[in-house]
Amino acid sequence: MLSNILAGSVVALSIGKTYAAGYAWSGVNMGGFDFGCTTDGTCDLSKVVIPLHQYQGNDGAGQMQHFTKNDGLNAFRLPVGWQFLVNNELGGTLDSTAMTKYDALVQACLDTGAYCIIDIHNYARWNGEIIGQGGPKDSDFASLWGQLATKYAKQTKVVMGIVNEPHDIPDMTIWATSVQAAVTAIRKAGATEHTILLPGTGYTSAESFVSSGSGPALAKVTNADGSIDNLVFDVHKYLDSDNSGTHAACVGNDISAAFAPLATWLRQEKRQALLSEIGGGSSTASCMTDVCQVADYLNENSDVYLGMLGWAAGSFDPTSYVLSLTPTQSGTTWTDQPLLTKCFADKFGGSSGNPSTTPTGSDTGSETTAPDTPTSSQTQYLGGILPHFSSIAAAQSAAASSTFPAAETSSNAALGGGLDNFGGNGGAAAITSSSSTTSAMVQMPTGTNMPVPVGAVSSWAFHNTSTAIVPAGTGIPVPVSTTPGGFQPTTLQTVVVSSSQSVPSAVVGTEPGSSGGGAAVWGAKGPKPVAGTGGSLDNLGSSGEEEDDDECDWVEDDEES
């Protein structure tokens, strides 16, 4: 069974098509604490550049606030040298002065509501020697992680990235034993629900993760109770000529060579991976194409790919560093690097937790100032639709000012049924199909947040539910949350209505899953938004005009639908 952090909803329609709503995590590496660390595991602490204003560095806290609020990103990787944390004392305790500085970055990340990945940026080494294979003892490594896990045991959005890019590991079986020691220490310290990232050799390349023996060896690493919940494989991939991430140009998307074979293996093993590093020239046309194609592939295969994080922002110079994703700031306005806008913000098709968004942006970098107003153009998002906004803040602002009309209360599923006053008279979004047709299967991960603001915020009544059933051919997940504007199931559930079961029409109801109150078909057969029929979630924020076929993957209105 997949972990409860499965990425994005997967909607398997009865007509045989599958829509992947998108991977769950999208974000950026925040470099600076790792500066001075090299591939032999040495770290020159004099070269550390802390990405925080209070330490005379770049405004990393402001960058992360911008990335979450304006771009909808929800994960940050925070590289740091092992030597920095223990003041160059192998096996020693965490240095209080160093931890005060690093923790300031972690807390700035947590303040955004994002996932915060602690990354020990040492290449499975300490000063040239491999952990557990001639270098530091497993107990030294476990001690480090036990102390970090103790500190962040109550912060479940802190993610434990075991170590950055192991390479030239002589024995993967022994390496898996070292990783197991760290995992065991983390769990014993009380961090029982935290995600842990497991890296392999070959710089944990997605292309060689299986062939190098990394995947098979690390698949045997378990939690203390023998389970594999929240143990995710950590992979990297750069698309330049030598796969090093040192050139501005990309030479291909490597989907057939790396991501597709790994996806096949992950499904076979019922496991998941996070692409925690990928990058390219921040305004290079080849990388705009190739990195975006990788994002598309990960969105389409979000059952096995948790997400992707770009390299890198933080202390990196926004103009001189070839792979910089650092935004520039003028007053209160941040301007993103084009690659981040196009291939990270714009491609983020799903979310797990807060925040989430449906960013738009442009190929030339995005500026965020005042919120936009909704237009009649609409986009598919997690199986549903939203008006286009430049940011989640803009959507929230529009919802708060009652820009969106209230959903209709039609009891006729053939006319859409709408959301039946989502909350209020309509109750929680519930089932349904208008007859005994086969409904779609919906998988929703814990914390999935789908903003669908309808009506005034004050009129919404939310119910907690962990299941979702949708009509055949619609592809809209309908669990709800206690967070205004979002569907947020409490646990992962899969619900299938068979062709022999009868499900009620969407009518005005007050109970989720009983008399309706949920989204029914969109228009007569549910495939496209239709004006006046509740087709586009009751013409959410617009006149409900039909979407062009090339804009959204709507199901065609044919005999099968």
Q: Which residues are catalytic?
A: 165, 277
CA–CA separation, 432 vs 406, rounded Å?
20
Structural contact between residues 536 and 542, judged by C-beta atoms closer than 8 angstroms: yes
Helix axes 60-71, 392-400, angle to 10 degrees: 60
Q: Tokens at residue 442, please?
A: 């919906």
Residue that has been written with the tokens 């590289």 in this structure: 79
CA–CA separation, 47 vs 52, rounded Å?
15
Rg from Cα positions in the chain: 24
Q: Assign 3-class secondary structure to 7-61.
A: CCCEEECCCCCEEECCCCEEEEEEECCCCCECCCCCECHHHCCCCCHHHCCCCHH
Alpha helices in 152-281 (DSSP H): 172-188, 201-204, 214-218, 260-269
HSE (side-chain half, CA atoms, 13 Å) at 479: 25
* Rounded alpha-carbon distances, angstroms, from residue 517 to 417, 511, 534: 8, 7, 13
Structural contact between residues 154 and 193, judged by C-beta atoms closer than 8 angstroms: no
DSSP, collapsed to helix, strand or coil, labels residue 178 as: helix
Alpha helices in 134-235 (DSSP H): 138-151, 172-188, 201-204, 214-218
384 alpha-carbon distance from chain centroid: 18
CA angle (75 as vertex; 73, 77 as ends), nearest 5: 130
DSSP, collapsed to helix, strand or coil, labels residue 187 as: helix
Beta bridge partners of 37: 43
Q: Which of these, 49, 28, 47, lies nearest to 36 by C-alpha position?
A: 47
Q: Write out the H or E segment, with its range, that includes residue 322.
A: none
DSSP conformation class of 259: I
CA dihedral 246, 68, 348, 381 (to 10 degrees): -170
